[in-house]
Amino acid sequence: MRETVTIKARENAYEAVIEEGLLERIPRMLADSFPGSRFAVITDENVFRLYGERFKNALETAGAGYGFIIVSPGERSKSLSVLSEVLSGLARDGFTRSDVVIAFGGGVVGDLAGFAASCYLRGVRYAQIPTTLLAQIDSSIGGKTGVNLPEGKNLAGAYHHPRAVYADTALLKTLSADDFLGGMAEMIKYALIKDKEMLAVLEDNVIGACSPMLGGLIKRCVEIKRDIVAADERDSGERMLLNFGHTVGHALERICAKKGEPMTHGQAVARGMAFVTAVGEARGLTAKGASGRVGRLLEKYGLPAGLEGFGAREVMEGIFVDKKNLSGALNLVLLKEPGEAFLYPLPAGEAQEFIFGVK
């Protein structure tokens, strides 16, 4: 069944279409929505291997002009050097302002292609075809684009909303277990910060790539993000609630990357959510029993909880590189109770003692 969510942004309104088996119909939808445009499809080697020929054939059947720019899979492609290669590829292939960039991949491709679209010719239109659960429920929605710098994640970027999002849930069946769990960590996040009913569904069922409830849960996540972004598009207030677990999670990712032992985004966010919930409960700011409930839910889906093996100092150093922390203050997202979150600003000088109990 097709689900559609309308997102109203400052620069334009667009629809997120969610349906199983949508992929080969997307080129016709693109051609109808952007008549006369060529499509610059930015994807990675893995997605192209799985779906490239099918998508090319569908583009040709729709009579659409197109070109492909294929990058290496993984976080290493979310860099200024790869961004430069993508921009040069757009220029070499003669794409113009009347054409449309297509981000066909997971979160890395979506962030990279969206940022390229925001830069190329001072801004061109783009559409998202997210191929991972994380991208379908989170990164393809809301207009955040960007790349990493050696100093940290997402430190270069722009707000640039897509003109359409097409989420084919059938593509999720080819994800690795780790990639699917990365998306489940974000789905759990949405439930914990904003939706007690969805939280109960996740607790009472085991959601997998073939679950008949998956499409509806994806829609609900998109609706939650739509509503939060509508209230705070530029990440200065309520939108920070979406960072629940991410302040600590990004620090863990950075620490592990430096050690040459990468941690998946889902594992890092899960650890971050469990940890800050325990901190909130210990400080009397989160309902008693919340940390146990969060930990049980994460463990049910095979996600880790806790910061075993990480030191307070290295985690704090990683936290304060995070761009979400403004003017020397740490903007910590805590749960009042599972299903309701709030922002708790901490002065930098008090953060380590508040979080770890040590100065």
The predicted pLDDT at position 327 comes to 60
The predicted pLDDT at position 76 comes to 94
The predicted pLDDT at position 326 comes to 54
Pairing, β 125-130 against β 13-19:
unpaired
DSSP 268: H
The predicted pLDDT at position 328 comes to 66
> Which of 293, 139, 286, 146 lies closest to 221 in space, CA to CA?
139
Q: Radius of gyration of the chain from Cα atoms?
A: 20
Domains of the chain with CATH codes: 3-175 (3.40.50.1970), 178-356 (1.20.1090.10)
Task: For residues 30 and 36, give the distance between their C-alpha atoms in angstroms, rounded to a whole number.
Answer: 10
> Which of 3, 13, 51 lies closest to 221 in space, CA to CA?
3
The predicted pLDDT at position 322 comes to 62
Report the residue count for the chain: 359
Diameter of the chain by CA atoms?
A: 64
* 346: β partners: 330
The residues of the chain scoring below 70 in pLDDT are 322-328, 358-359
The predicted pLDDT at position 348 comes to 78
Question: Quick check: 240 and 343 in contact, CB under 8 A?
Answer: yes
